[in-house]
Amino acid sequence: MYTPSHYKNKGLTEVKEFIKQNSFGILVNQTNGKPWATHIPLELDLDQEGKDILVGHISKANPQWKAFKVDEEVLTIFNGPHSYVSSSWYKEEEVPTWNYIAVHVYGKIKILEEAAVLASLHKLVDKYEKESSDPISINNLSKNTMKQIKGIVGFQISITDIQATYKLSQTRQQDHPKILEELQKTNKPGSLAIASCMKHMKK
């Protein structure tokens, strides 16, 4: 991912937390001779050696998994908030732009055995059911329902590189007060989220 130096976020702890909070990502590889992307939950975890991995699963009906090869490098993409930024908010004439946060993670993929897939599903469901008023547990699902695990392919990605772009008007510090004011006026979720990120960045 092309990232000018002033937009690179090298704070690995912050970037990992971003991935955890924005874990519905995009898995990209080469399938049948062309780029293929699937939108799925990709959970950041640790392997038995304490190294960072991503864990996920896709449907067996999705041909993407048939292109998974041992030690093949794949790309995963995690998107955060984004917002249009009008140059009318600047003190000096300039073109408009877009503020955003995006993280690209590269790694080597391998298919998991069924027991490991089941363990990953327990973690996934438990994580997101915490906020439910009537949480379910995989332990309480019937054998008939759990047969659906036969229809998915689980995988893990051993992370080789993380690239993080936090484009938050870093080169226009003098215009931040006005940019923040205008972003907050829009009352759009993306704009408000970008304004919050800009405030946090300034601290």
What whole-number distance in Å separates Cα of residue 89 and Cα of residue 196? 17
Tokens at 76, concatenated: 């995963």
Choose among 108, 88, 106: nearest CA to 96. 88
The band of 202, judged by pLDDT with boundaries at 50, 70 and 90, is: low
**Longest alpha-carbon distance in the chain:** 65
Average pLDDT value for the chain: 94
Bridge partner residues of 85 (DSSP): 97
Asked whether residue 176 carries a pLDDT value surpassing 80, the answer given is yes
Determine the average pLDDT of the residues in 117-139. 91
Tokens at 78, concatenated: 């995690």
Asked whether residue 131 carries a pLDDT value surpassing 90, the answer given is no
pLDDT score recorded for residue 201: 81
- Is 57 within 8 Å of 39 (Cβ atoms)? no
User: What HEC string does the chain produce?
Assistant: CCCCHHHECCCHHHHHHHHHHCCEEEEEEEECCEEEEEEEECEEEECCCCCEEEEEEEECCCHHHHHCCCCEEEEEEEEEEEEEECHHHCCCCCCCEEEEEEEEEEEEEEECCHHHHHHHHHHHHHHHHCCCCCCCCHHHCCHHHHHHHHHEEEEEEEEEEEEEEEECCHHHHHHHHHHHHHHHHHCCHHHHHHHHHHHHHHC
Residue percentage of the chain with pLDDT more than 90: 86
Asked whether residue 21 carries a pLDDT value surpassing 80, the answer given is yes
- Is 112 within 8 Å of 65 (Cβ atoms)? no
Burial 100-127 (b: 16+ CB within 10 A, else e): bbbbbbbbbbeebeeeebeebbeebbee
How buried is residue 38: exposed, middle or buried, by Cβ count under 10 Å (0-12/13-18/19+)? Answer: middle
Asked whether residue 43 carries a pLDDT value surpassing 70, the answer given is yes
**The whole model's pTM is what?**
0.92
Q: How many residues does the chain have?
A: 203
Asked whether residue 90 carries a pLDDT value surpassing 60, the answer given is yes
Range scoring the smallest mean pLDDT among 19-23, 93-97, 142-146: 142-146
Determine the average pLDDT of the residues in 65-79. 92
Asked whether residue 116 carries a pLDDT value surpassing 60, the answer given is yes
pLDDT score recorded for residue 203: 52
| C-alpha Rg value of the chain to the nearest Å | 20
